[in-house]
Amino acid sequence: MILKLIGMLINGYKYTNEQEAIDARKSCADYYGLPKTPEDVTKYYVDYQEATLDSPIFWYIEYYQGTEPILGEPYEFEVTQEPIE
């Protein structure tokens, strides 16, 4: 079976290396004071994903309301994904 990959349009923030994405995630958590206690389930305000099917590979954070003061204005870009069956 041949799988056809699809391009998904994402509104968010794109990073060329994982450390930049980790730093952005931490900046959002720090801004919102997360985690509130070490035992909290919620550790981060946002999380990042790895675009493994794209070349070159990149990391991204999808836009969530409240990220602009920390990460700036989001923008649209495409991420290659396998279709959902």
When mean pLDDT is compared across 2-6, 18-22, 67-71, 81-85, the lowest value belongs to: 2-6
pLDDT at residue 82, as a whole number: 84
What's the mean pLDDT in 41-61? 95
Predicted model pTM: 0.88
Enclosing domain of residue 54: 9-78
Q: Write the CA distances from 16 to 5, 22, 34, 58, integer angstroms.
A: 22, 12, 25, 5
- Tell me, yes or no, whether 43 lies in a domain: yes
Number of domains present in the structure of the chain: 1
Given a cut of 60, whether residue 1 has pLDDT beyond it is: no
* Residue that is written with structure tokens 């450390």 in the block: 19
Confidence tier at 2 by pLDDT (50, 70, 90) = low
Please tell me the distance from the alpha carbon of residue 16 to that of residue 19, in angstroms, as a whole number: 9
